[in-house]
Amino acid sequence: MSTDESPTDAAGPLVRVEDLQKYFWENDSVFDRLLGDEPVAVRAVDGVSFDVDRGETLGLVGESGCGKSTTGETLLRLQEPTDGRVEFAGRDVYDLESDDLDEFRREAQVVFQDPFSSLDPRMTIGDIVRQPLDVHDVGTGADRRERVRDLLERVGLSADQLDRYPHEFSGGQRQRIGIARALALEPEFLVLDEPTSALDVSVQAQVLNLLEDLQTEFDLTYLLISHDLSVIRHICDRVAVMYLGEIVEIGPVESIFEDPKHPYTQALLESVPRATTDERERDRETISGDVPSPRDPPSGCRFRTRCPKVIPPGDLEIDQEEYRAIMDLRERLERHDVSLASVDGADLESDEGPVPPEEVSAFVAELKSRLLETELSDRHDENVEAALSNLASSDWEAATERLASEYESVCERRNPKLGDAHHPVACHLFTDVDAADGERRRGGGGESN
């Protein structure tokens, strides 16, 4: 960016992301439109906001497919956003054109995840590192060659190797070449997209130490994208936790690791293997269920379909195991993900019509045994049986509405906001819910029953 920044710009965050969205569209070709198919949005990034201060390393973590890499690429304008705003040193990145955009490209670079596919196999490593200098017409030919030699040596390679090709190097060496290329234009900001995930453990440590040394030497600011929590803890100042296109928690690295608040963050940390001998018998609690599709994310809190702490209606006495079993049953009924073709001898897909009244009890009992592994208390067992009895006449809507009227949670009605606190978390356990709905404010130390 321009060197004549105002004092306000210099004092503020280097990068500011506000409500960033990136959707990919399916069924959106001319042929699809001729067939009358409606476009379907894949919400890869859906309303992400965060700041990155000068000189810090912000980690972006989450399961594969949550939108981390797409966030980094869209932030750098490697992909155009669907909506939102990104400021770099106080200027809107998406408004930049021509020379201003070229200047941003020099100031913000990326190190890609795969050191094997991110380097052109037909180019020597000297040409690869020199290419940004050629594109931006930096210095003379002699200046560029000297810059390449300096960079290769700085990342731990020999300047005598600049005429060799990528296939002659190991994975760790290739990643060093990628880092040298990213540093060629003396950027201020780097997006590190899983920079060590394809490397051996011993090489990972070397590359991480190199990145830390380079950050100090060149006064760099990092956005580190990773699913490896040990890497995040080692190198980051703050951490943003991402789930299904949204940031659910953000805070200082020690706060996130020592006092995680969001149930998703807690589950991520709990699933990490620990190498101490007193943890040998620990039964790791994994996150249940499958990640929902970004084509059709859940209403309200997107983690609610897998969350072990979903908030029941305030006047409902039910433990979390029972509540989760009923929530899962509701999800299946809403998707019609229950086979009724042959339950207790009743074929509901034939012309014989509904289950005869005298067979409904047996029909419900068999359905319940198939669909529920958790034993329910009397009241909840009666509600489930009443709902399943509607399936005897294939009335799916009545079945789901019966359960929804009794068990609908604030977690599915409203999407919790991240907020602006020092350690904000997007979870209804930490926000006020509607008093009119009979629900209560819940703190981090209470049970979620």
> Tens of pLDDT along 202-241?
888 888 999 999 999 999 999 999 988 888 998 999 999 9
* Structural Rg of the chain based on CA atoms: 27
Same-domain check for residues 229 and 105: yes
Do the strands 57-61 and 238-243 form a parallel or antiparallel pair, or are they unpaired? parallel
Mean pLDDT along residues 280-290 = 65
pLDDT of residue 351: 41
Same-domain check for residues 214 and 342: no
pLDDT of residue 257: 95
232-253 tens-digit pLDDT: 998 999 999 999 999 999 999 9
What percent of the chain shows pLDDT beyond 90? 66
58-104 tens-digit pLDDT: 999 999 889 999 999 999 999 999 999 999 999 999 999 999 999 99
pLDDT of residue 32: 67
Q: For residue 346, what is the DSSP state?
A: B
Same-domain check for residues 121 and 213: yes
Looking at the predicted structure, is the pLDDT value of residue 2 above 90?
Answer: no
User: Residue 47's domain is classified under what CATH number?
Assistant: 3.40.50.300
Instruction: Give domain status of residue 304, yes or no.
Output: no
pLDDT tier for residue 200 given thresholds of 50, 70 and 90: confident
Q: For residue 85, what is the DSSP state?
A: E
Counted domains in the chain: 2
Instruction: Give domain status of residue 344, yes or no.
Output: yes
Instruction: Give domain status of residue 191, yes or no.
Output: yes
Same-domain check for residues 239 and 384: no
Lowest mean pLDDT among 150-164, 173-187, 269-283, 378-392: 269-283
Instruction: Give domain status of residue 78, yes or no.
Output: yes
Same-domain check for residues 97 and 206: yes
Same-domain check for residues 252 and 382: no
**3-state secondary structure (DSSP) of residue 179:** helix
Instruction: Give domain status of residue 420, yes or no.
Output: no
Q: Which of 259, 275, 305 is the last residue of a domain?
A: 259
Mean pLDDT along residues 10-17 = 86
pLDDT of residue 37: 76
Mean pLDDT along residues 117-139 = 95
112-125 tens-digit pLDDT: 988 889 999 999 99
Instruction: Give domain status of residue 208, yes or no.
Output: yes
pLDDT of residue 284: 59
Same-domain check for residues 33 and 162: yes
Same-domain check for residues 363 and 245: no
Same-domain check for residues 13 and 136: yes
Lowest mean pLDDT among 129-143, 152-166, 428-442: 428-442
pLDDT tier for residue 372 given thresholds of 50, 70 and 90: very high
Looking at the predicted structure, is the pLDDT value of residue 278 above 80?
Answer: no
First to last CA, the chain: 52
Give the C-alpha separation, 338 to 435, whole Å. Answer: 35
Give the C-alpha separation, 359 to 142, whole Å. Answer: 89
Lowest mean pLDDT among 23-27, 124-128, 166-170, 300-304: 23-27
pLDDT of residue 339: 81
H-helix segments, 219-319: 229-235, 253-258, 263-270
Same-domain check for residues 234 and 327: no
Instruction: Give domain status of residue 137, yes or no.
Output: yes
Same-domain check for residues 93 and 239: yes
Looking at the predicted structure, is the pLDDT value of residue 22 above 80?
Answer: yes
Instruction: Give domain status of residue 67, yes or no.
Output: yes
Q: What is this structure's pTM?
A: 0.85
Domain holding 331, by residue range, is 320-408
Q: Which amino acid is at 24?
A: F
Mean pLDDT along residues 306-319 = 90
Give the C-alpha separation, 211 to 190, whole Å. Answer: 10
Q: Which of 259, 293, 308 is the last residue of a domain?
A: 259
**φ and ψ of 143, to 5 deg:** -60, -40
Mean pLDDT along residues 257-281 = 79
Question: Which has the higher per-residue pLDDT, 420 or 307?
Answer: 307
Element housing 238 (H / E): strand 238-243
Looking at the predicted structure, is the pLDDT value of residue 398 above 70?
Answer: yes
Mean pLDDT along residues 285-297 = 82
Mean pLDDT along residues 325-344 = 84
pLDDT tier for residue 448 given thresholds of 50, 70 and 90: very low
Structure tokens at 207: 């590359």
pLDDT of residue 273: 66
Same-domain check for residues 63 and 204: yes
CA distances from 253 to 166, 221, 229, 258, 416 (A): 35, 16, 10, 8, 22
Looking at the predicted structure, is the pLDDT value of residue 437 above 80?
Answer: no
**3-state secondary structure (DSSP) of residue 425:** strand
Q: What are the DSSP calls for 13-56, one per residue? A: -SEEEEEEEEEEEES-SHHHHHTTPPPEEEEEEEEEEEEE-TT-
Q: Which of 233, 259, 285 is the last residue of a domain?
A: 259
